[in-house]
Copies of this chain bind each other. A is one copy, B any other.
Amino acid sequence: MTDIDPSQMAERRRGSGVKLVYDLLRDEILDLKLAPGSAIDEVQLASRFGMSRTPIREALVRLASDGLIETLPNRSTMVSNIDFLNMPAYFDALVLMYRVTTRLAAQHHKTEDLETIRQLQVAFSAAVESQDALAMIATNAAFHSAIAAAGRNSYYGAFFERLLNDGRRMLRLYYQSYEDRLPARFVEEHEEIIAAITARDVAAADRLGKVHGEQIVEQIGRLLTRHEDIDIDL
C-alpha cells in the first residue's frame, strides 16, 4: 500500500478524517483490494493517511460495526472473511428483499423516482454492453438501491443496502461465472421491473422481483453444494 498524495494530506478540514478513512477502507474491502482475512495495521494506516491513530481507530470501529472487519481484543484486526456457509441464508434474505423493495416501489414511487431508476438502468445496460463486470455489479446494486428508495421504507432500505454490500464481495469472487447471455437477460428483467413499477402493478412487481432474485441466486448458487428452498410461496 502506497502513501496517498501528499497534496491531499496537506490540509484537511477538521473532522473529515474519519469519514475519509472509513469510505476509502470500506471501498477497498468491498472491492476485494483488501483480501478477506488480511491484517489491518493501525500505525501503517496512520502514516499512510498522514494522521494520528485516533481518527483511524474511530473509522475502524465503524467498519467493525458494519461487520467488514473483525477485532480480536488486544490483538490483531483483520478484514472479515466471507461467510460461504451462510450463503443460502444470504440468498434467502436477498431474494425476499428484491421482492419487497420492488413491490413497495410499485406502491409508493413518485414520478421523479422513475427518472433516477431509468438513468441507473441505462448505466447498467452500458456496463453489460462493455462487458465490465465490476461496473455491472456496482450499477446493478445502484439500480436496486434506487428502487428500494422509491419504496419509502428506510428499514428495508438499510437492510437491503447492507445485503447488497455483502454481495459485492461475493460477486467479485464469482463474477467469472457470468456468461454473455445472462447479463443481457438481467437487462431485460430490469426493463420489465421498471414497467411494472411505472404501472403500479404490485403483483407483477412482486413476481418480477422474485424471479430476478432467483435468477441471480441460481447463477451464483450453482457453485454451492446445496441451497435453501427459495420457492416458498410466502
A residues touching B (Cβ–Cβ < 8 Å)?
14-15, 54, 57-58, 61-62, 65-66, 73-74, 86, 89-90, 92-93, 96, 99-100, 103, 152-156, 159, 163, 202, 206, 232, 234
Contacts and interface: CB of A to CB of B under 8 A. Distances in A.
17 contacts: A15-B74, A54-B54, A58-B58, A61-B62, A86-B154, A89-B153, A89-B156, A92-B153, A92-B155, A93-B155, A93-B156, A93-B159, A96-B100, A99-B234, A103-B234, A155-B163, A206-B234
Contacts of A163: 155
A50 to B, nearest CB: 20
Contacts of A62: 61, 65
Number of copies: 2
Contacts of A96: 100
A213 to B, nearest CB: 14
Contacts of A92: 153, 155-156
A155 B89 contact: yes
Nearest to A151: B89
A154 B65 contact: no
Nearest to A88: B153
Contacts of A57: 58
A96 B234 CA distance: 10
Nearest to A74: B15
B14 A74 contact: yes
Contacts of A152: 89
